[in-house]
Structure 1
C-alpha cells in the first residue's frame, strides 16, 4: 500500500497554519469535513472530521472506518468517534472555520449541537490557495499521471477507433485501458454535484451539445439521468472529429488532457486551421506561465490578440462559452488559480495548470487541445 509520507502530512498542516495566521490572524480552530481535504492532510478518506486547533495537536476523528484510517494513514493522531459529541473539546471558540462550500446545512446543524459556536467563517479559499502549490511528491504523482495520458491518448486511441462503434463503446474501452495503465479510476471535481467517470468522449457534433458542465465542450451522454460517458446511439463514421477530453490520475493527483482526432478522411482546411490556432494559443499561454505572472493579465493578453472571427465560438459554442483559458489542477481537476479575469495573485513555482483553448464549429464539433503544465523556477514544464 502506498501511503502519503508523514513528512508530507506535517508540512501540509504547517502550511495551513501559516496560511490561516496570514489571512485570519484571530483564528482559533478549523474543522475539515470534505474527504478530499481529509486526504490532503491525513492520507486517508473516511467518514469523520479533522479538527485543527491553532496551538494544539490536530486530531482526525473517524466514525467509519477507524480501522482503515489506521491502516492507510501515517497521520499522528487518529481517534475513533461515535458522534460529534465524542470529539467536542471542553472550550469552544465563538468562531469556527469550516469548508462552507461543501458542508450541508443538516450536517452543520448536527455539528453545532455539540460544538455550540456563535459564528462560522470560510476556509475554502485558504485550502485552495495552500493546495495550489504542489510539493515535489505531488508533482511526481502528476508526472506519472501525465505519462498515462500521453501514452493512451497519443499512442493507443488511434488504433482502437473503429467505424460503427458508439461513443459509449469507445468510452468503456478507454476506461478499461486507462485502469490497466495505472489510472486511479475517477475524475474528481470541486464543482457542486459534478460527476465524471472519465470526461467527454464525443463524435462530431456531440462535443458542442449543451451541458451543465462548466467547460468549453459538452456531450450527449447516456441520457438525461446520466449525461456522461457517451451516447449508445451516436456511431463513429468517416469524416467525424473524435474529441476526447478526459482526466487521468495517480494516487489522487490528476492531469487533464484533450486530444482531437480526424477519423477516416480529410476534413476542410478551415477546420484544420482552427485546430492549429488552438495549439498556438496553448503554447503562447504556456510561455507566459512563469513565477510572478498574473493570471488575469495572461487572459487579457491572449484574448486581446485573437481576431474577431476566431473569437466566435471560442471556448464553447453559441451562448455557452466560458471565460477562462486554463485552470489549476491537483487533487481535483478544477482547482485554483484560473487563467481568467479576477485572478490577480502572482503565479508561484509549483503551481500546475491545465491549459485548454478550444473552439466550437457549427455542425462539426469542437476542436482544440489541452495539456497540463508545471510552473517552474524560470519557465514552464510540460507534465
Structure 2
C-alpha cells in the first residue's frame, strides 16, 4: 500500500484543533460525559480525516481512538491518528479502548443523530453498562467555528461558485430551454470548475442533488425541501434539479439555487436570471429583488462577533414587516420557512440556522449562507443567496459581490 499517494489529507495540526474545540464545548453541552463517541462517517471524517465505516472515541484528554470496520488500510493512509484499530461489533469497543490506554468513560457523549433507532438499540444493548447522553451540540458548535485551513478551502469554493453562476452559465443557457436542460448545463459548468458532485445534508432524511432550478411559477411550486424556493424537480421521487416539462419562457425569472462543493466543503448561492432585457422586468419584480438585496445587506451588517444569531433574524423580519414585504418573504404559503439563513461547511444545512430561539453568540470563523427570497404570485421567486465569512470586524461575502438579476436576451 505504500505506493499509494493520497493528496489533500487533513493535517495533524488541523485535527488537533478540532479535538480541542470539541473539548471546549463538551463541558457546556454534556457536562457529565467523559468524552465523545461518534458513528456517522461525516463526523468520523471531521475528527479523523478519513471517511470510513466505524466509530471514533474522543476522550476529554489524550489521543482519540479510531475504530474501523472498513477500510482499515484506507484509514491508515489518510488519518494521522496514532491509534487506529479494526473491530467487528460494538461490544468490542470497550476492551479495544482499554487496551489502547483510553478506556471509555462510564458516561459517554454520543452522536445520537449518527445512528438509526435500530443501531442505537444495538449499541445500548452491547454496551449496557454505559450511560449515553446526547453530544450532538458539541459537534455542531465545533464545526460551526471554522479554522483558517477550512476557510481557505471555502474561499476558493466561493470564488469558483460565483464565477460559474455569474460569468459562465449565462453564456450557455437561454429562454426556451427546459429546467432539466438548464440543470445539465449547470452541472457541466460546475464540474469544469471543480465541483466534486457529492453534496451533503446534516438533517436526518434530507437529500440534495445540485439544487433547485426553477423557471417562472416553479419558484412557488409546493416543495418538500426545507427552503423557500419551490421547484417541480425531475420526478416526485426525485424532487431536485428541474423538470423536463417546464420551459423557461420569455419575460419570466429563472432562479438557480445550487450549492458548490470541493474537498468536502460547501458554499451556497442563488442567482436569479431574467429572460429578456432589463427594461422588460416588471416594477414588482425589481422592487422585490432590491428588497431581498437590502435584507441580505442588513443581515450581513449585523453578522459580527458577539452578536446573537436570533437577534439578526428578528432585525430582518421587523424590517420586512416595516417595508410591507412580509407576505411572500421567505416563501409563499406552505413554502414559507422560519429562517433567513444557515451555517454551512461540511454540510449545506450547517449549524446554526438564523432563526428564533438560536440565542448563540456569533464568533469569528463562523460561515453563514444568507438567503432572503420573495415569492410573487403568478410570476415566481426572486432574491439572493450568498455565503458570508465572519471576520474580526464583521462579515464578508465569499461568493461574489454582484447580486443583481442577470438578464439573458437571446
Q: TM-score, normalised by structure 2?
A: 0.89
Q: Deviations over 1:277-323 (max 9, x none)?
A: 10111011111111111121121122112236311110001233111
Name the residue aligned to 1:379. Answer: 394
Q: CA deviation at 1:92?
A: 5.6
Deviation at 1:86, TM superposition (A): 3.0
Task: For 1:335 and 1:65, locate their aligned partners in 2 and report how far apart those are by CA, in whole Å.
Answer: 27
Q: Which runs of 5+ in 1 are unaligned?
A: none
CA contact (8 A) 2:342 2:353 kept: yes
Matches within 5 A, 1:137-216: 137-216=149-228
Using the TM superposition, name which of 13-22 and 242-251 deviates more: 13-22
Asked if 1:131 is matched to 2:143, the reply is yes
Aligned residue for 1:298?
312
- 1:1-383 equivalence runs, <5 A: 1-89=7-95, 93-265=105-277, 266-306=280-320, 307=322, 309-383=324-398
2: CA distance, partners of 1:13 / 1:83: 25
Secondary structure of 2:352 counterpart: strand
Offset at residue 56 of structure 1 (A): 4.3
> Is contact 2:59-2:104 (8 Å) kept?
no
Please give the alpha-carbon distance, in whole angstroms, between the structure 2 residues aligned to 1:355 and 1:308.
19
Give the Å deviation of 1:100: 1.6
By how many angstroms is 1:93 displaced? 4.4
Instruction: Deviation per CA, 1:13-58: give whole Å up to 9, x if none.
Output: 1221222134333312421011111111111111100012234431
What is the CA-CA distance between 1:111 and the residue it aligns to? 2.2
Pairwise CA distance, 1:118 = 4.8
SS in 2 for 1:169: helix
**Structure 2 SS opposite 1:233:** coil
Tell me, in whole angstroms, the C-alpha distance in 1 between the residues paired with 2:111 and 2:294: 39
Where does residue 401 of structure 2 map in the other structure?
Answer: none
**Contact kept in structure 2, 1:88 and 1:114, CA below 8 Å:** no
What 5-or-longer segments of structure 2 have no aligned partner? 1-6, 399-410
Alpha-carbon deviations, 1:47-100, whole Å to 9, x = none? Answer: 100012234431111111111222222232221122223322367644322122
Could you tell me whether the CA contact under 8 Å between 1:205 and 1:363 is conserved in 2? yes
Which residue of the partner structure matches residue 403 of structure 2?
A: none
* Contact 1:241 1:261 (8 Å CA) reproduced: yes
Q: Secondary structure at the match of 1:258?
A: strand
* Cα pair 2:215 2:253 within 8 Å, conserved: yes
Contact 1:329 1:352 in 2 (8 A): yes
Q: CA 1:343/1:23 → structure 2, altered by over 3 Å: closer, same or farther?
A: same
Would the aligned equivalents of 2:210 and 2:258 in 1 still touch at CA under 8 Å?
yes
Cα shift readout 1:183-211 (whole Å, capped 9, x = no counterpart)? 12122111221111211111111121111
Note the C-alpha offset of 1:241: 0.7
Distance 2:63 2:77 in 1: 21
Q: Distance in 2 between matches of 1:377 and 1:61?
A: 38
Contact 2:233 2:242 in 1 (8 A): yes
TM-score w.r.t. length of structure 1: 0.95
Q: Is contact 1:92-1:116 (8 Å) kept?
A: no
- Residue 254 of structure 1 and its aligned partner are, at CA, apart by 0.8
**SS at structure 2 position matched to 1:378:** coil
